[in-house]
Amino acid sequence: MERDSPWGALGVSDAHVHFFSRKLFDALAAMKGGADAQAIGARLGWQLPESTEALASAWVKELDHHRVARAALIASVPGDEESVVAAAAAHPGRFFTYSMVDPVKCWLPEKFGKIQVICLFPAMHRYSVHSGEGKRAFEWAAAHHRAVFVHCGVLSVGVRKKLGIESRFDMRFSNPIDLHGIALEFPTVPIIIPHFGAGYFREALMLADQCANVYLDTSSSNGWMRYQESHLDLRQVFKRALDVAGPKRLLFGTDSSFFPRGWQAQIFDQQATALYELGVSHADARLIFEENLLRIIGA
pLDDT in tens, 244-290: 999 999 999 999 999 999 999 999 999 999 999 999 999 999 999 99
Q: What's residue 143's pLDDT?
A: 97
The CATH number given to 3-297 is 3.20.20.140
Q: What's residue 222's pLDDT?
A: 87
Work out the number of other CB atoms within 10 angstroms of the CB of residue 156: 12
Q: What's residue 51's pLDDT?
A: 96
Q: Categorize the per-residue pLDDT at 298 as very low, low, confident or very high, splitting at 50, 70 and 90.
A: confident
pTM value > 0.85: yes
Q: Categorize the per-residue pLDDT at 35 as very low, low, confident or very high, splitting at 50, 70 and 90.
A: confident
Q: What's residue 75's pLDDT?
A: 97
Q: Which of 2-11, 152-161, 213-222 has the lowest mean pLDDT?
A: 152-161
The single-letter DSSP state of residue 215 is E
Query: From CA 63, how far away is CA 42, in angstroms rounded?
Result: 24
Q: What's residue 299's pLDDT?
A: 67
291 within 8 A of 252, measured Cβ to Cβ: no
Going from the C-alpha of 42 to that of each of 36, 96, 165, 224, 290, the distances in angstroms are 10, 29, 16, 29, 35
Rounded to an integer, the average pLDDT of 137-147 is 97
- pLDDT exceeds 90 at position 77: yes
- Between strands 147-150 and 117-120, the pairing is parallel
Q: Is 66 exposed, middle or buried (0-12, 13-18, 19+ CB in 10 A)?
A: middle
* Domain ranges, ordered by start, for the chain: 3-297
Rounded to an integer, the average pLDDT of 81-86 is 97
What phi and psi values does residue 113 have, to the nearest 5 degrees? -50, -40
- HSE-up of residue 253 (Cα within 13 Å, Cβ side): 29
Q: Name the more confident of 154 and 210.
A: 210
Query: From CA 10, how far away is CA 7, in angstroms rounded?
Result: 7
Q: Categorize the per-residue pLDDT at 108 as very low, low, confident or very high, splitting at 50, 70 and 90.
A: confident
Going from the C-alpha of 104 to that of each of 93, 107, 170, the distances in angstroms are 32, 6, 15
